[in-house]
Every structure is written in C-alpha cells, then in structure tokens.
Amino acid sequence: MGPRPHRLLAPAAAAALAVAMACAACTTTAGNGRVAGLDAPAAKALLVPGETSEAQVRDALGQGSVIRFESGYETWHYYWREGLPKGWDDVPFIGLVTARSHHPTKELVILFDPAGVVRRWSLQAGGTATS
C-alpha cells in the first residue's frame, strides 16, 4: 500500500505557504515609480487645467497608458503599487497571504482635450481621491 495522497499534499502546502510568506515580506513596486512620490499639492502644481500640456506631463511622469476617444479627447492613466505585482494575488497559496496584506497604491488619471491640454485629473491614493 502506497502513501496516502493527503500526506503528500501537506508538505507541498507547507512549502507553498513558506514561499508565499517570504514573497509577502519582499518590498517591490509595480507601475510608474514617479507617481509614488506624487501627492495632492504636487499634482495641483503640475496639472493645471487649461495650461499644462501633454509634453509637460510626459516630461514629468513619462508616457501613461492612453485611451483615445473619437471626440479627440484622451485619458492618460498611471498606476503604482508597493509590494508584489498584482498578478501574484491570483497564485494559489501566495494569494492567501498577499491579498490580506496592505499594499499602498496610487492611481492618476488625466483628461486631455483635443489640443493636448489638461482639462481634469484625479489622483487616488489608497482609496482616497483628489482632483
């Protein structure tokens, strides 16, 4: 009679948990690091509606992920997250640990008009919005 399957799974689960805990302790970042240091006063100084151009934003923050609309307007999206990259939350066992740990995040969305000038923006940090 061979070993029972559940006895083989216990060491594998323990090893996966150990890896998950080790990875959860790592401090890495995902996304645009320039957004990490951006707070509301700095964003207000940089992103002046009716004045700031796409070129100025690109120089300060780099190129964001762009969504273009038929009207000529477009939005640029920037995202930053401390901790493991978001995909790790979906890995079995690792996700059990990472999903319960706090990961500071920031998301910046900028709306440009057809002339390439800032119209509005929104900065969210850990669930709070500023614009």
Residue 116 region, left (φ>0) first, then alpha (ψ -120 to 50), else beta? left
Q: What pLDDT score does 32 carry?
A: 63
- Rounded CA-CA distance 89/76 in Å is 25
Place of tokens 């559940």: 6
Distances (CA, A) of 36 to 75, 99, 106, 108: 19, 21, 7, 10
pLDDT greater at residue 120 or residue 126: 120
Which pLDDT band, with edges at 50, 70 and 90, does 70 fall under? very high
CA angle 81, 120, 127 (to 5 degrees): 35
Average pLDDT over residues 7-23: 55
Average pLDDT over residues 71-100: 72
Domain ranges of the chain: 5-130
